[in-house]
Copies of this chain bind each other. A is one copy, B any other.
Amino acid sequence: MVAIGIDIGGTSIKGAAVDSDGKIYETFSMPVSKWEPGEVCIRKLTILVQHYIASHHLEDKIVGIGIGSPGTLDVSTGTVNYANNLRWENVRVADLIHEILPYPIKLINDANAAALGEARFGAGKNFATMIMVTLGTGVGGAIVVNGKLLEGNESKGGELGHMTIVVDGEKCTCGRNGCLEAYASATALTREAKKAMLENRDSLMWKLAPDLNFVDGTVPFGAAKQGDPTALKVIDYFVKYLGEGLLNYCNIFRPNVIVLSGGVANAGEFLFARVNQYLRAYNYGYKFTPEVQVVPAVLGYDAGKIGAAALFF
Contact = CB atoms under 8 A, between A and B. Distances in A.
Interface residue tally on A, bucketed by range: 35 or more
B156 A285 contact: yes
Contacts of A254: 151-159
Interface stretch (A164-172, A200-208, A266-274): A164-172
Nearest to A127: B153
Interface stretch (A191-199, A209-217, A244-252): A244-252
Given A157-B254, A285-B156, A176 B247 contact: yes
A241 interface: yes
A248 B164 contact: yes
A55 interface: no
Nearest to A249: B252
A152 B167 CA distance: 27
A182 B269 CA distance: 34
B166 A166 contact: yes
A150 B145 contact: yes
A160 B252 contact: yes
Nearest to A143: B252
Contact of A244 (B145, B160, B167, B253): B167
Nearest to A177: B244
Residue from the set A157, A169, A255, A285 with the largest chain B CB neighbour count within 10 Å: A157
A95 to B, nearest CB: 22
A285 B82 CA distance: 13
A132 B113 CA distance: 29
A88 to B, nearest CB: 15
Given A160-B252, A247-B176, A251-B159, A150 B150 contact: yes
Nearest to A288: B72
A167 to B, nearest CB: 5
A102 interface: no
A129 B143 CA distance: 14
Contact of A248 (B163, B169, B288): B163
A282 interface: yes
The 5 closest A-B pairs by CB, nearest first: A152-B254, A157-B254, A159-B251, A163-B248, A162-B251
